[in-house]
Amino acid sequence: MRNRILAIILGLVMAGALSAEAQQRNMLPRFPELIIEKGLSENFEVTECAARVKISANDADASLKVQMKNVSDKPISSSVKFRVLYPTSESQVRISVDGKAKRFDRANPRHAFELQPGATISFDINARTSVNYSVDSVRKALRDQEDENGRRKKGFLMEDFTKLFEREKFGRRFMVGSLVSKWGLFPVDFSKASIEVSVPAEFVMVTANAEIWQQSQSGNSKVFKSDARENFSAAVFLPEGDREDFIATQKVLSSDNFMH
């Protein structure tokens, strides 16, 4: 539903399922993600997942290691899209599939594969990205995605997003997304997950599921860790001074009174 754009960011605002439009247009800086494009989500299981990030100044050095298994009784022919928002450059994104290096191509960031029943495939993504969430960075990312989508289908409406610029707050942001999903919408079962987020001391976490996170101090950094297999997505890290405005903005954007 169009009036629920960006509600996934918090999980505080609503617990219901989101539309494809809403999740595809959530442009907060985040971990690299694997988007499964073919096959039923229930046919896949994430048997290993390790996500690590260290945020300093305006950059995030993130890694995502995933092993995915075909848990169905039939062969699967599928593909994944590597979603990496705001990379500092293409050379700062390194990908390997089953231990073999694969060049990151922003114009077509995909890998096709086949899995026999019980077989696994492993992905390893390392990326340096910007956490500076700004009008210009969002516009550029939207244009990149609109150009890509335009080759396959029309209908990605960038002008809809410009209406958010009047209300959205911008600054340093980092979100834990779904990490692995079907189309960026449907969850995939995780049998094991480990997430670690290291942020500057002035950062705080905004999440509806604080109980699954453990916080510690390491020098001038805060470290947040979670081994939960679900409910980790939509945790957002940002400077403490931005917290209240950020929450208020998300409530407005998800309100039925805010028409897009």
pTM equals: 0.83
Asked, for residue 37, whether it belongs to a domain, the answer is yes
- Cβ(42)–Cβ(36) under 8 Å? no
Asked, for residue 206, whether it belongs to a domain, the answer is yes
> Mean per-residue pLDDT for 30-56?
97
Burial of 220 from C-beta contacts in 10 A (0-12 / 13-18 / 19+)? exposed
pLDDT digits (tens, 9 = 90+) for 181-225: 998 888 899 999 999 999 999 999 999 999 999 999 989 999 999
Smallest CA-to-CA distance from 48 within 188, 223, 216 is with: 188
> Mean per-residue pLDDT for 231-237?
92
pLDDT at 253: 63
- Cβ(21)–Cβ(5) under 8 Å? yes
Structure confidence at residue 117 as a pLDDT band (50, 70, 90): very high
| 152: CATH | 2.60.40
> Mean per-residue pLDDT for 115-131?
98
Asked, for residue 260, whether it belongs to a domain, the answer is no
Average pLDDT, the chain: 84
Domain residues for the domain of 173 are 2-253
Of all residues in the chain, what percent carry a pLDDT higher than 70? 78
Burial of 211 from C-beta contacts in 10 A (0-12 / 13-18 / 19+)? exposed
Token representation of residue 166:
């009047």
Smallest CA-to-CA distance from 5 within 28, 27, 21 is with: 21
Q: How many domains does the chain have?
A: 1
Asked, for residue 259, whether it belongs to a domain, the answer is no
Asked, for residue 62, whether it belongs to a domain, the answer is yes
- Please provide the DSSP assignment of 45-103 as one string: EEEEEEEEEEEETTEEEEEEEEEEEE-SSS-EEEEEEEE--SBS-GGGEEEEETTEEE-
